[in-house]
Chain A
């Protein structure tokens, strides 16, 4: 399922997928696939994304009611 929280936060910071990818040391496609819910990142990459976006893991990857990010 799509990770819209991550996408919202990135746009909130006026970052492109390329900017976020550079900050995390990955390719733009990887960020695109995570946001599209087509790739499950490792915990290390999750932490790198959270640091780059200035949020916690809970903010981006925790979902109440047992659902993924809607």
Chain B
């Protein structure tokens, strides 16, 4: 089949990319929020939202690998340990809260146990996140250094 020429001019193309960009992130965060809320409210297990989980993980892996290959970390956040630590703590708190509400549905009378389970889930998440982010930062810095190497060619190539 013959590929048709784009109907868009440069400005429209940029606008289209922006719309697609916004659409992607709305879908990503809504999917993540849906899974967390469903888990917290109904205590649903992996059988219920396994498909959503696979989609979210696939998207996350694609974005992470593509950005690292391109030597891109983030628009605003710096690849520093303190930033990674704050992000990991936030992730730990969110997972801790979700775990607390999910477990509280079944063992409501044992608040101490719910808090302990939530704390363990939160701490494990925080530790795993900081490890994953540290590995990501190391990979990013290595890739960025490689991409920023000055090429040896100059006049002789011309």
Q: Which residues of A contact B (CB under 8 A)?
A: 4, 7-8, 11, 16-18, 27-29, 32
Contact = CB atoms under 8 A, between A and B. Distances in A.
20 contacts: A4-B158, A7-B158, A8-B158, A11-B154, A11-B155, A16-B150, A17-B150, A17-B151, A18-B148, A18-B150, A27-B71, A27-B147, A27-B148, A28-B147, A28-B148, A28-B150, A29-B71, A29-B147, A29-B148, A32-B151
Interface in B109-158: 147-148, 150-151, 154-155, 158
A27 B147 CA distance: 9
Contacts of B150: 16-18, 28
A7 B151 CA distance: 13
B11 to A, nearest CB: 12
Contacts of A16: 150
Contacts of B158: 4, 7-8
Contacts of A32: 151
Nearest to B157: A7
Nearest to A27: B148
Contacts of A18: 148, 150
Nearest to A4: B158
B158 to A, nearest CB: 6
A3 to B, nearest CB: 12
Nearest to A2: B158
Contacts of A17: 150-151
Contacts of B151: 17, 32
B28 to A, nearest CB: 26
A11 B147 CA distance: 20
A29 to B, nearest CB: 5
B119 to A, nearest CB: 42
A46 to B, nearest CB: 14
A8 B71 CA distance: 27
